Amino acid sequence: MKKKVVAIIPIKKNSKRVKKKNFKTINNKKLYEYLLEKLHRCNFDEIYIDSDSSEIEKYAKKYGFNFIKRKPYLAKDNANGNDLLNYHSKIITADIYFQLFVTAPLLSVKTINKCINILKKSKNKDSILTVHEIYSWFWFNGKPVNYKPKILPRSQDAKPIIQESTGLYGIKKEALKKFKCRIGLRPIFFNIPQHESVDLDNLKDFEFLKRILKK
């Protein structure tokens, strides 16, 4: 039986750290357009945009996306990605739910489709997320995380620290229903190139993105 896979893209009208960051213009294009214009080339059965913005609602209708008007309680600062996905799973029927963010504008169609296909075919894993592997030595709260200072290892022997790219999450409906979280207990960590893992959270990130797009 074919598994129904849906994508849900939350786009909030306002943001705290960078004012209206989802709507900032970069190289004559709004930030949200970079991801959205790729999605119709991805292997989703349905694509939904959730927003409290009338601009996004018009864009969704113009370009053939399903639109969900953001509930006021989900537009508050204390609402998170899990809250949104749990709500969406109650109003959208699917076998696999993907949550993608426009603050990850360099995610490629190839990466997205690979994540879809891997999770669809997986029998033992319940979720997937994009990550970036960092090979270095780390400390936290004054203590080494992944090495012993008395035994200085070779850099090529470093075990990577896994960093969430926060751009893409996918989860099977059974796991989402059970754990109420966008990451299950048996996730797949899908490593992506460093440039694709760019997550726009402050003004420096936007400047970095501009430099990448000019190359």
Inside any domain, residue 200 = yes
Mean pLDDT of the 102-118 span: 97
Evaluate if residue 211 carries a pLDDT over 90. no
Residue 101's pLDDT band, with cuts at 50, 70 and 90, is very high
- Structural domains of the chain, count: 1
Inside any domain, residue 99 = yes
**pLDDT digits over 158-203, tens only?**
778 899 999 999 999 999 999 999 999 999 999 999 889 988 888 7
Look up the domain containing 50 and give its range: 5-131+164-214
**pLDDT digits over 24-47, tens only?**
988 889 999 999 999 999 999 999
Inside any domain, residue 137 = no
**pLDDT digits over 48-67, tens only?**
999 999 999 999 999 999 99
pLDDT of residue 215: 65
DSSP 21-71: GGG-EETTEEHHHHHHHHHTTS--SEEEEEES-HHHHHHHHHTT-EEEEPP
Inside any domain, residue 136 = no
Instruction: Please calculate the CA angle 38-40-42 and round it to the nearest 5 degrees.
Output: 75
CATH classification of the domain holding 173? 3.90.550.10
pLDDT of residue 19: 81
d(CA 106, CA 213): 9
pLDDT of residue 136: 85
Residue 14's pLDDT band, with cuts at 50, 70 and 90, is confident
Inside any domain, residue 141 = no
Segment of 19-23, 72-76, 95-99 carrying the highest mean pLDDT: 95-99
Residue 88's pLDDT band, with cuts at 50, 70 and 90, is very high
CB-CB neighbours of 209 under 10 Å: 20
